[in-house]
Amino acid sequence: MKFIKKNIVFLFCFFLIAGVLSRIDAISDKIALALEKNPVVIATPPNTYQKKDDFLYVQNTVDFVPLSFQDLLNIYYTATNNGYKTFTFYCPSEYKECLSDVEKISNDPETLTYINNFVHPYNGFSNVRTVISETGEINITINYLYTEEEIKAINEKIEEIYKKIITPEMTDYEKIKTIHDYIINNTKYDVERNTNEESTYLSYNAYGPLLQGYATCNGYTDAMALFLIKMNIKNYKVATELMQENASGHVWNAVYLNNEWKHLDLTWDDPVSEDGKDYLQHKYFLITSQELKEADAGEVVVKDHIFNTRIYPELKK
C-alpha cells in the first residue's frame, strides 16, 4: 500500500514538473512581454554643466518613452545636455518607425552636430555611438570633447579674465563686446590646423584661444559661449548648412539679447591678413540675420553663414 502511495506521489510530481517545463517558453514569453511593456529607464541627475534652456529644435525631457522623431531628438539632446556618458532607453511597440528613426539619427553626423550645438560646450561630444537591439533597447555611449584637466584650466582662466576686464556697471552689450574684443586681441586663427588638419594647439576648443592664443572657428565659438553662459545669457552655436555647393564647415554664436536673437562671429571679426598684422572688426558683432546676409554679399557671396532655418528657427528674422 505504501509502495502504491509513493508511486502515486512520484507520478503526480513528475507530471506537474513536466507540465511546467512544457509551458516554460510561454511563461518566459509572457515575462519578456511584461518587461517590454514597462521597461525601466534610469535617468541619473545631470552634471553641473546642464543647460536648462529649451529651444525650438530640441527640448529637455523627462519622458524617455519616444513616440515620434522629435521625441528621439529630445532624448539625444537631454542625454548629451545632462552629461551622461551612457544612456539606455527603449522603443515602444506602438512607435513602429522608432528603430529606423534611431538609425537615421545615429548614422547622420549632421543631425548629431546640430544636437551638439545646443548643449553646454563642456557637454559637447567628440562622437556618439548608438547600439540598437532588435528587442527595442537603445544604448548610447557619449565621448566628450573636454577633459577634466582642460575644464579646470579654462574655468580658472575665465575667472581671471572676467575679474580683470568686466565691471558691474557694464550692460550685457558692453560685456559681450569687451569679451569679444579681448578674445580676438589675444588670439590668432590657427591656419596650420585649417590647412593640414593638425596642429600643436588645442585650437578646436576653448583651451586654444584662452590659454594658447590660437583658435579655429570651434575654439572662438566655445570660448565666447562659456563667457555668455557665465553672464546667464541664452545662446547656442550655429553651423553652416552643408547641403550646398562649395560650402565649407563653419560655426559661430547665436545670442539672445534684449528679447532678440543675434549673430556673433568672432572668427570672421578676426581676419587672417596678408600683411601678418592683427585686425579687430565688428562686422559680425551682434547682427540680425538680414544684416548677416548683407555683410556676406558682394562680388563673391560668402556661403559660410548660410544656415538651416529649420534647425535654427529663432534666427529666421
274 against 41, higher pLDDT:
41
Q: Backbone dihedral region of 213: left (phi > 0), alpha (psi from -120 to 50 degrees) or beta?
A: left
pLDDT at 60 over 60: yes
- Averaged over 252-263, what is the pLDDT? 98
Dihedral angle over CA of 271, 303, 192, 238, nearest 10: 90
Can you tell me the distance from the alpha carbon of 108 to that of 93, in angstroms, rounded to the nearest whole number? 24
pLDDT at 247: 61
Domain borders along the chain are 69-144, 148-315
Distance of CA 200 to CAs 13, 54, 212, 215, 262, Å? 76, 36, 10, 11, 33
Q: Which cell is 81 given?
A: 545636455
DSSP class of 227: H
| Residue in 135, 288, 151, 125 with CA at minimum distance from that of residue 210 | 151
Whole-number Å distance between alpha carbons of 166 and 23: 74
Is residue 252 within 8 A of residue 270, CB to CB? The reply is no
pTM: 0.86
| Residue 40 pLDDT level (bands cut at 50, 70, 90) | confident
pLDDT at 275: 64
Residue 301 contacts residue 288 (beta carbons within 8 Å): no
C-alpha cell at 196: 593640414
User: Which helix (H) or strand (E) element contains residue 264?
Assistant: strand 260-264
Return the CATH fold of 69-144: Ribosomal Protein S8; Chain: A, domain 1 (3.30.1370)
Beta bridge partners, 252, equal 238
Average of per-residue pLDDT across 91-107: 97
Tell me yes or no: is domain 148-315 CATH 3.10.620. Answer: yes
Helices (H), the chain: 2-22, 24-37, 69-81, 98-106, 109-116, 148-165, 172-185, 191-196, 207, 217-230, 289-296
For the stretch 118-144, pLDDT in tens is 999 999 999 999 999 989 999 999 999
Query: Residue 19: pLDDT above 70?
Result: no
